[in-house]
Structures are given as C-alpha cells and as structure tokens.
Amino acid sequence: MIRMLMSFACVGVCMSLIGSHLPAQDKKEEKKVEKKKDEKKKEEKKVEKKPAMPPTVSDSYGKHPRQVIDFYQAKSDKPTPVVFYIHGGGWQGGDKSSINPKAFLDAGISVAAINYRYVKNGVEENVVPPVKAPLDDAARALQFLRSKASEWNIDKKRIGATGGSAGACSSLWLAFHNDMANPKSSDPISRESTRLWCAAVNGAQTTLDPKDLREWLPNYTYGAHAFGLKSFDELHENRESVLKWIKEYSPSEHATKDDPPIGLFYGGDKDAKVGGIHKDPTHSPVMGMKLAEKLKGLGVDVVMSYTGHPDAKYANSQVYLIDKLKTAAPAVVTEPPTPKTKTPPPQTTPAEATQPSTEDRRPLRRLLDRLRLRR
C-alpha cells in the first residue's frame, strides 16, 4: 500500500514538473487565440449594428463586403428625391446605420445610406492612394443608385448628398467633381452621372492640403492616413510628392461656378478664426469659412452656419436638404447676358468717300437730261 502511494506521489511530482515547463508557451498561444476571438467578436458586433428602421431593400454595389447600400423608399406615386448618406468615421470606421431616415421619409424623400471600403481596405488591396477606395466607392454607389431609378421609383436628378466629417468630405468631393460618368462604357452603371442636385454636410474637411491646413489651423493633425503616411508632419514634409493626389481628392480643388447649392454646418468655437488654436481642429468651422469664401467668389449658392452664427433659414443640414430637394429647381449660376454690339458701318476708301452716292447723283442726271432736250 505504501509503495502504491509512493508511486502515485512520484507520478504527481513528475506531472507537476512537466506542467511547470509547458504552460508558459501554452499560455502565450491561448492568449493569442483569445485575442483573435475578442477581435472577431468586436468585428461581428460592428457588422451587427442595426439601423433605426429596417431598409426597404439592401443591395450590393460591388464585390467587397462593405460595398453595400440600404435604400429607404418614401411613399409616393411619383418618383421621389433622394438623400444620399455617407457615414463619417475618418474613412476608418463608422456605419450606414447611423442615419435615421424618418424625417426625410415623412417629407416624401427617399434615403440611400452606404457603407464603403475603409482606407485600411484600400491598403490591403494596394489602392494608391488609399483614400481612393472610399471616394471611388461613394461615386460608384451613387451611380448604382441612379441605375435603380425605375425600380426604386426615384428622381435620378434630385439627389442630395450628406454626411459628417469624412462622410461630409466625400459628399463635397462628389458635389464639386466633374461628372465621372463614362458614356462609352459597356457597363450601364458606369454610364450614370455622379453630379448632385445639392449637398448639406456637417463638420466637413474641405481640403486635404497640409500647407493650407497648417496655415489655417496650426494644431491640425488629421489626414495623413489618406495617403498612406503615418503622421501629419510626414504629410507636410512630403507634400510635393503627393500633391497630385492632394489636388484630386481635396473637394475645394474641384469647385467651379456650375456647382450645386451647398450647405455647410459646423459646431466648434463661436469665435473661430483663421490661424487660431481650436479644440477640435479636425472639424473646425474655419475650413467651412474658407470654402464658403471661395464658393461665394465663384457665384455658387452657399450657406455657412456654425456655433453662434446660425443661418436664419436653415437650422441644420436636414432642414436644408428637405427644402432644396423639394424645390422646383436648384440655384444655377448663369452667364451674364452678352452685351449686344452695334454692327460697324462698312469701311470705305478715301476715294469712295469723295464720290457722291447713287442717291446723290440722281438730281444731277435729271438736270443734264433736261439741258440736252432743250438743245
């Protein structure tokens, strides 16, 4: 009996000795597995976000899992205007479920809300620059929406874009960019227009140019990731090497006099001014001020509203969109009438100027004829 007990004790000691060496490696592996599980759960939770109300239809406008559009159809016998919603999140997060379409639906306006590839998805797919992924997706989703005009009973002309932060930047980029439709494409979706009826945005970044942003907002730090860079300082130092991308993906670079009505809505400091330090420079009204200044110079219909400086007519972007989309026609900049110029009289040579005209010579001929008859 004693021998048996001693045998069990030896086995126990051996197992404990073996166990004391194995767990260190096993625990590391277990932690990795648990970490992956936690990350997966977080991703699943993100995907599982439910909208304020179920969409009429949810469809894919591309092959990537995030290229999805939710459409909320307003009740109407006639084709309805549409609010085209692009969520914010720095092109790094966020979801289409963050809109509540009820107010628009009640006004007879349908709503389309999109997800799009994040900048990190662009990096994974070797999209250069990475910001091209979310912005191209916004354009493609808009074209896809128009291709559904008949099926979804929408007025493809009356589409107004909206969003906050990065979604606001994307909305303005669409509003100002030349039409990206390709009329010669074999793909019917690519033949659809990307132009807008209007846009109303919240806390928009209006440019990605570090030179302008550093001058306007000395403590600004956002946007380097759009070009695959690590910091704003790095973007500022390498500005010239990415300047062509900055110009292509900065909304203000595309603004022209034929652009649609724009509503710019910001929070921020009521005393905001160019060159000042701001608590939230990423969404500072200074960017809106500079864009509004440019648009007014071009003659584009623009409303600028921020803390302490509300617009008398439009309390927020929602009110703006409902009014503009229900208006018969957007404000369009027209060319001033060309002044009519008088047709200059025909030029005559000095010799011709000394000769009497045909009308002037008739009395003289009659007098000569009479004298001849008398002779």
Q: Residue 327 has what pLDDT?
A: 85
Contact 235, 242 (CB under 8 A): yes
Q: Residue 51 has what pLDDT?
A: 83
pLDDT single digits (tens) 199-210:
999 999 999 999
pLDDT category at 50 given cuts 50, 70, 90 is: confident
pLDDT single digits (tens) 154-184:
999 999 999 999 999 999 999 999 999 999 9
How many other C-beta atoms lie within 10 A of the C-beta of residue 33? 10
What average pLDDT does range 91-115 have in this prediction?
98
Contact 69, 144 (CB under 8 A): yes
* Average pLDDT along the chain: 84
Written out in words, the top-level CATH class of the domain with range 45-326 is alpha beta
pLDDT single digits (tens) 200-239:
999 999 999 999 999 999 999 999 999 999 999 999 999 9
Contact 101, 84 (CB under 8 A): no
Q: Residue 52 has what pLDDT?
A: 83
Contact 92, 225 (CB under 8 A): yes
Domain boundaries, the chain: 45-326
Give dist(CA 171, CA 168) in Å, integer.
5
Give dist(CA 351, CA 65) in Å, integer.
85
Q: How far is CA 239 from CA 41, 194, 214, in A?
A: 39, 28, 12
Q: Residue 44 has what pLDDT?
A: 42
Q: Looking at the predicted structure, is the pLDDT value of residue 194 above 50?
A: yes
Q: Looking at the predicted structure, is the pLDDT value of residue 96 above 60?
A: yes
Q: Looking at the predicted structure, is the pLDDT value of residue 101 above 80?
A: yes
Amino acid identity, residue 374?
Answer: R
What's the 3-state SS for the chain? CHHHHHHHHHHHHHHHHHHHHCHHHHHHHHHHHHHHHHHHHHHHHHHCCCCCCCCCEEEECCCCCCCEEEEECCCCCCCEEEEEEECCCCCCCCCHHHCCCHHHHHCCCEEEEECCCCHHHHHHCCCCCCCHHHHHHHHHHHHHHHHCHHHHCEEEEEEEEEEECHHHHHHHHHHHCCCCCCCCCCCCCCCCCCCCCEEEEECCCCCCCHHHHHHHCCCCCCCHHHHCCCCHHHHHHCHHHHHHHHHHHCHHHHCCCCCCCEEEECCCCCCCCCCCCCCCHHHCHHHHHHHHHHHHHHCCCEEEEECCECCCCCCCHHHHHHHHHHCCCCCCCCCCCCCCCCCCCCCCCHHHHHCCCHHHHHHHHHHHHHHHHHC
pLDDT single digits (tens) 269-307:
899 999 999 999 999 999 999 999 999 999 999 999 999
